[in-house]
Structure 1
Amino acid sequence: MPGGVNSPVRAFGAVGGTPRFIASARGPYLTDADGNEYVDLICSWGPMILGHAHPAVVEAVQRAAALGTSYGAPTQGEVELAEEIVARAPVEQVRLVNSGTEATMSAIRLARGFTGRSKIVKFSGCYHGHADGLLASAGSGVATFGLPDSPGVTGAATADTIVLGYNDLSAVEEAFAANGDEIACVITEACPANMGIVPPRDDFNLRLKALCTQYGALLIMDEVLTGFRVSRSGWYGIDGVAGDLVTFGKVMGGGLPAAAFGGRADIMAKLAPAGPVYQAGTLSGNPLATAAGLATLRGATDEVYARVDHAAETVAGLATAALAKEGVPHRLQTAGNLFSIFFADGEVRDFAAAQRQDTKRYAAFFHTALEHGVHLPPSSYEAWFLSAAHDDAALERIAEALPHAARAAAEA
């Protein structure tokens, strides 16, 4: 495998050292191939909101597997999962797919097919998967067209992508003023969590929705990370701004490969086989994935969200207290029960500010926490994830490890 991994962040490239190969997980804990146990603050990058190997999820997957692993035909389970998503989120119809990348790629295609336009607006630092048109970096101007951000991505693939600074409403207004009749959609993380947690300004999402409506474009809210995690209804449950299209992943798959995109019925009606915009997937709505996702969503009750919120608040407080005691400059930023700590002074409102953090301090912080049995995200640009399984014993282990990690950061 290139780099020894199947997804880059797992290689520890941002923090150095050797990644831990995980053999098993249960509740809030990971066990590596050498038998070492860690309190897990990644939770598979979000899906394990109930904790690892939750009995209800395991039972649902085992029951589904005994009936066959894939049919390539409609099933009751995918209908029930779609109904659960529609009941929680501001969408009228959904299409199940296999990954967040597939969900955002398909939502953009649908937006283009619905509007008959080609250009899209995205924000620097927001990650929407690795589709070619979304791997674009910002140009030199306020509203310039994106340049390829990865070898293998052509200029033609990003030529219709406009990349703007996050939280910069004036740049969005200028982009629409210059290209309004060509813009099919604006895609944004409902609350960014891929450059660390960088919440939208109070009126940012609302103003994006208004501009899209004014110019006849669609707003795509990417809730792959925040959906069904930061509240029962995701970030929509916090700020109340609905996208014309919304993408989902992570929690709704319960740890198996599953994602979805959805929106207004008139938009979704353009999707094949009801309409002309083509999208398909042999494993979409896979019975094992839908069983895991449905068990997870049904288990994500108000009590579960309260427990996750409490655990996240506790860990965030422990981390900031330890760093403050050692005099380490840092900034805590939160989005419901998601949070990240920037090793920097001052508020972080966009990707440029996030890039000014001291990543060497984070690497020292990360490795010392790992040595003391706590597995943090192996990148300073990632969110920290808690679960309902993080009980007092797990929180105590975190409390014991963080002062050592803070001291290492101070000395880095």
Structure 2
Amino acid sequence: GIPPEAQADTIVVRWNDVAALERAMALHGRETACVVTEGVMSNMGVIPPKPGYLLRMQELCQEYGALFYLDETVTGFRLAAGGCAELYGLSPDIVTYGKALGGGLPMAMIGGRAEVMAGLEWGKVLHFGTHNAGRLALHVTKTMLETMLADNQAGFRRIKNLGKAMADEVRKVAKHSNRHKIVVQGVNSMFQIFFTDLEEVTDYRDFCGHVDRAKFRDFALRLMDKGIYMNPSATLHSLSSVVHSEADIAATVTAMTQVLEEMP
């Protein structure tokens, strides 16, 4: 299990709140090993960082001597070829990838600055794994990267354009069905629909206090009856892929329009 010391040694700071982060670093920065964050909050739908938030986090890490650890498990190879680091101009000390990296197979990766990664050499820091460097997963990963990076990253451009187009079309539908109070938030290929009285969901507290998860579940299940699959958990999100098309967007929008009219 997880020892209680792990929690005792962790300081949780409200996300997207620069002032709270600055206070925490002023109090604990000199004894902080690293600051860990996602580039886009991805387990509460899709919550983008406020402008400059991640860059300020990186600056504070440099100022206090803490490592800046960017968790790109969800966002890596989805939002851009270089993930959130590319999208927001970041240079993390440590970065982790997973999910899309393996093209459907279990695959994860740790990267970082050379002097940080040197800690793994010759067992200085133990890193065991039954499937480390598994040949099948590595081959699929290589194929995914070659496919998505071909023609000057045409694959990444496609999923970005499809994702943004889908989010924009859903916003149009929501505007016509404003009795349901819908907010659509997305970053490139990722988006989520929130049933909420807020104009924007910016952190965990907003999500827990103001997002109607039961209504979203009802919405998603009704969509399934019309042949459109959307994960019924509001904590997750939807993603575009290279096999999606503009026709898929049109069919989804039609089904959503019907469902919103049918919902109480």
TM-score (norm 2): 0.92
String of CA shifts for 1:274-297, please: whole Å, max 9, x gaps: x51111212111111111111111
Match for 2:192 among 336, 340, 347? 340
Alignment of 1:234-383 (within 5 A): 234-273=83-122, 276-301=124-149, 302-327=153-178, 328-344=180-196, 345-355=198-208, 356-383=210-237
String of CA shifts for 1:342-366, please: whole Å, max 9, x gaps: 1112111111111211112211210
Following superposition, the deviation at residue 408 of structure 1 comes to 4.0
Alignment of 1:169-208 (within 5 A): 169-208=18-57
Distance 1:223 1:209 in 2: 15
Distance 2:262 2:3 in 1: 42
1:272–1:279 Cα contact (<8 Å) kept: no
Q: Higher relative contact order by CA 8 Å / sep ≥ 6: 1 or 2?
A: 1
Query: AA paired with 1:353?
Result: D
- Which structure: greater helix fraction? 2
String of CA shifts for 1:326-382, please: whole Å, max 9, x gaps: 222111212122111211121111111112111122112101111111111221121
1:252–1:294 Cα contact (<8 Å) kept: no
Query: AA paired with 2:124?
Result: P
2:167–2:185 Cα contact (<8 Å) kept: no
Distance 1:335 1:217 in 2: 28
Following superposition, the deviation at residue 386 of structure 1 comes to 0.9
Following superposition, the deviation at residue 213 of structure 1 comes to 1.0
Following superposition, the deviation at residue 251 of structure 1 comes to 1.6
String of CA shifts for 1:241-295, please: whole Å, max 9, x gaps: 111000011121111111001100011111141x511112121111111111111
1:343–1:362 Cα contact (<8 Å) kept: yes
Following superposition, the deviation at residue 309 of structure 1 comes to 2.1
String of CA shifts for 1:182-231, please: whole Å, max 9, x gaps: 21000000121111111111111111111111111101001111111111
Distance 1:261 1:363 in 2: 34
What is the match of residue 404 of structure 1?
258
Distance 2:222 2:110 in 1: 39
Alignment of 1:221-240 (within 5 A): 221-240=70-89
2:105–2:137 Cα contact (<8 Å) kept: yes
String of CA shifts for 1:18-39, please: whole Å, max 9, x gaps: xxxxxxxxxxxxxxxxxxxxxx
Following superposition, the deviation at residue 154 of structure 1 comes to 4.8
Q: Secondary structure at the match of 1:369?
A: helix
String of CA shifts for 1:112-142, please: whole Å, max 9, x gaps: xxxxxxxxxxxxxxxxxxxxxxxxxxxxxxx
TM-score (norm 1): 0.60
Query: AA paired with 2:156?
Result: Y
Which runs of 5 or more structure 1 residues have no equivalent in the other structure? 1-151
Count the aligned residue pairs. Answer: 258
Distance 2:4 2:119 in 1: 28
What is the match of residue 115 of structure 1?
none
